Amino acid sequence: MKALRLHGAGELRLEEEPEPRPADGEILVRVTSVGLCGSDRHWFVGAGIGDAVLERPLVLGHEFAGVIASGPRTGERVVLDPSVPCARCEACLAGLPHLCPAGRFAGHGSTDGALRTSLAWPEGLAHPLPERIADAEAALLEPLGVALHGLDLAHVRSGTRVGVFGCGPLGLLLVQAVGAAGGETIVATDPLEHRRRAARTAGAAGVLAPGEVAGRGLDLDVAFEAAGADGALADAIDAVRPGGRVVLVGIPDDDRTGFVASAARRKGLTLLLCRRMTPADLPRAIALVESGGVDLGSLVGERHPLDDWQDAFAALVDRRTLKVVIEP
């Protein structure tokens, strides 16, 4: 099989490797689509993310779908949950497996991800794909699950006034998910014009460039910081009403986030950090797309075969499109 491994910052190599052999409880999956995420960009550019650094050549990719190639479910189209919790630690036993410190996550640390033609993965994490969801679109179900988890943290419901600060694919999914939940995205911001256009299409009532928020009196109930940038967080804090919520979804380049404490303190804001998704969120995402509540196809910007990985990662690094999907 072919596998794309990260050997160092900016150094990917497409290699021939033996096909994986599923262990007990695992299935063999032929990978059909992999979405490139902002976290993959962090790994590619800096050979790490947050406090995790490259320890050995790593296969990236955690937003993935495929076809089962072993066992009684052979031939079934599935989307995979990339998180494998330990099921034994305090976080898991408390019902917070997405916060498991001992868990494995595809394309992170020492666990190889999906940028390869085949992989073995726990069968219990393979969710059936409805026919109406195309393979390329299925790669966006995991980030949609993250968006739904963010909405839960923020208590978004009918009538909630929301701002989304950062309109990459996750920010755009937040805009759509807010609308599906009955809320309204009052404002969305991004420095890139093509992302601002996409935010309008996704349902944002107002679209601005960063730094244009101050003094507008938006009085939002909830703000999502989805850029990983202090400027976006400053805009979020400025736009939220006293007593509102700010959810940090973006990942900063240098693993540090800062803000003016007095601006947040005087409003008595609640700051929450969104990490990945819960096990319930991927089935929710599938159902939401199947019902027509969210359009994933509008976010697929480019599709590339695995052999064309150089152009795919150039698109990711340059942010020249929306979601980049690789189809091994």
| Span 271-322, pLDDT tens digits | 999 999 999 999 999 999 999 999 999 999 999 999 999 999 999 999 999 9
Quickly count: other Cβ atoms within 10 Å of residue 136's Cβ.
22
pLDDT value, residue 182? 97
Q: Mean pLDDT, to the nearest integer, of 122-135?
A: 97
pLDDT digits (tens, 9 = 90+) for 36-94: 999 999 999 999 998 899 999 999 999 999 999 999 999 999 999 999 999 999 999 99
DSSP-assigned letters across all residues of 27-43: EEEEEEEEEE-HHHHHH
With CA atoms as reference, report the closest residue to 52 among 40, 34, 37.
Answer: 40
pLDDT value, residue 153? 97
pLDDT value, residue 61? 98
Q: Mean pLDDT, to the nearest integer, of 209-237?
A: 95
Q: Report d(CA 315, CA 263) in Å as an integer.
A: 36
CATH of domain 2-140+296-327: 3.90.180.10
Helix, strand, coil abundance in the chain, percent, nearest 5: 30, 30, 40
Element (DSSP H or E) covering residue 44: helix 38-46
At what angle are helices 193-202 and 169-180 packed, to 10 degrees?
20
Q: Report d(CA 328, CA 325) in Å as an integer.
A: 10
Q: Report d(CA 156, CA 302) in Å as an integer.
A: 31
CA-to-CA separations, 182 to 122, 158, 186, 284, in angstroms, rounded? 35, 4, 13, 16
Q: Mean pLDDT, to the nearest integer, of 119-133?
A: 97
% of the chain residues with pLDDT over 70:
100
Q: Mean pLDDT, to the nearest integer, of 248-277?
A: 95
**Average pLDDT score over the chain:** 97
Name the strands in the sheet holding 184-189, side by side, starting at the edge strand that comes first in the sequence: 207-208, 184-189, 161-165, 220-225, 240-248, 270-273
**Residue for token digits 């996550």?**
105
At what angle are helices 38-46 and 309-318 packed, to 10 degrees?
100
Q: Report d(CA 184, CA 161) in Å as an integer.
A: 5
% of the chain residues with pLDDT over 90:
97
Q: Are 249 and 174 in contact (CB under 8 A)?
A: yes
Q: Are 175 and 199 in contact (CB under 8 A)?
A: yes
CA-to-CA separations, 87 to 15, 30, 96, 127, 268, in angstroms, rounded? 33, 27, 10, 19, 36
- For 185-319, where are the alpha helices, taking DSSP H only? 193-202, 230-239, 261-267, 281-290, 309-318
Token duo for residue 151: 């909405």
pLDDT value, residue 158? 97
Q: Mean pLDDT, to the nearest integer, of 30-34?
A: 98
Higher-confidence residue of 141 and 254: namely 141
Q: Report d(CA 303, CA 33) in Å as an integer.
A: 9
Domain with CATH 3.90.180.10 in the chain: 2-140+296-327
Domain with CATH 3.40.50.720 in the chain: 146-273
With CA atoms as reference, report the closest residue to 182 among 203, 204, 212, 157.
Answer: 157
Q: Report d(CA 52, CA 105) in Å as an integer.
A: 12
pLDDT value, residue 214? 87
Q: Is domain 146-273 in CATH 3.40.50.720, yes or no? A: yes
Judged against a pLDDT cut of 90, whether residue 215 lies above it is answered with no
pLDDT value, residue 89? 96
Q: Report d(CA 266, CA 178) in Å as an integer.
A: 27
